[in-house]
Amino acid sequence: MPDHQLLPRVIAVTGCDGAGKSTLSEDLCAKLQVEGPVEWLYLGQSSGNIAEWIRNLPLIGAPVGRYLVAKANRAHSSKASGPDTATTVVIYILSHWRAHKFRRMLRMTRRGAVVVTDRYPQAEVPGFYFDGAGLGAVNVESWLGRKLAAREQRLYQWMASHIPALVIRLNIDADIAHQRKPDHKLSMLQDKVAIIPRLDFNGAHILDLSGLDPYDQVLDAALIAANSAVDPSQG
């Protein structure tokens, strides 16, 4: 297991889809009162960007790229059968794309920026739905699949070993989340609502807020905690 490292200039916003992560993280980025630059970064799966990358590969067109990414996403919806080799590789690539963005975040902090992230990788519970390792959430049976799954898990353990100064977790119930995100499966949202509050992000300081409270109240509480986390003199 990699040694843990505190990232004193990183604020992570997590929670179920529909809780308001993107809005809150963007507003925090705009309103934080700190010296130096403040950057916003999405650390989710970004399968759309991967589809774009895949379809630009030689001999692979747009339909094939969309097909492969769709299969990777469907693999998380059913554990009845393991993904085929192509799907396994795409899931592995998706995780490396997330790691690529994570390294970008580390470079930002080394340049002195405060980084506010929308989502944050964790190694406690597998599954892209929870920002965990993708291959750990499906039945991988082949030799190649098991090898890639082990490497992917080590990758997530490395990312999770970098502990944000503050994790702001927006909590919401599944029914409200489904009202706000009707294109998402209710069962998937129920899984997220059950799992995400249990994550501890390697002992990070976590501020739990309700995504059902008035937004101005949520933003004020998040700003106070975030300013204090990156500049303890304000605490």
Are 75 and 145 in contact, with CB atoms under 8 Å apart? no
Do the domain assignments include residue 82? no
Q: Which domain holds residue 152?
A: 5-44+96-234
Residue range 24-81, pLDDT digits in tens: 999 999 999 887 899 999 998 765 555 555 556 555 555 656 666 666 666 555 554 5
SS3 38: strand
| Residue linked to tokens 């993107």 | 22
What pLDDT was estimated at residue 140? 79
Evaluate if residue 146 carries a pLDDT over 70: yes
Element (H, E) at 170: strand 162-171
Q: How far apart are CA 70 and CA 99, in angstroms?
A: 21
pTM of structure: 0.87
Residue 195 in 3-state DSSP?
A: helix
> In whole angstroms, what is the distance from residue 38 CA to residue 17 CA?
24
CA distance 103 to 211: 29
CA distances from 184 to 38, 72, 167, 192 (A): 31, 17, 24, 11
Q: Residues of the chain with pLDDT > 90: what percent? A: 63
Residue 84 resides in a domain: no
Asked if residue 71 belongs to a domain, the reply is no
Partners of 115 in beta bridges: 10, 39
Q: What is the mean pLDDT of residues 159-188?
A: 95
3-state secondary structure of 3: coil
For residue 130, is it within any domain? yes
Angle between the N-to-C axes of helices 47-55 and 62-75, in degrees from 0 to 180, rounded to the nearest 10: 140
As a whole number of angstroms, the distance between CA 134 and CA 114 comes to 28
> Would residue 187 count as lying in a domain?
yes
Q: Please check whether residue 79 lies inside any domain of the structure.
A: no
Residue of 104, 102, 92, 103 lying closest to 54 (CA atoms): 92
Model confidence at 166: pLDDT above 90: yes
Structure-token match 């297991």, residue found: 1
What is the number of structural domains in the chain?
1
- Please indicate, yes or no, if residue 15 is contained in any of the structural domains: yes
N-terminal to C-terminal alpha carbon distance within the chain: 33
Q: Is residue 170 part of a domain?
A: yes
pLDDT, tens digit, 9 for 90 and up, residues 192-209? 999 999 999 999 999 999
Question: What residue type is assigned to position 125 of the chain?
Answer: V
Interval 2-21: pLDDT, tens: 899 999 999 999 999 999 99
What is the CATH number for 25?
3.40.50.300
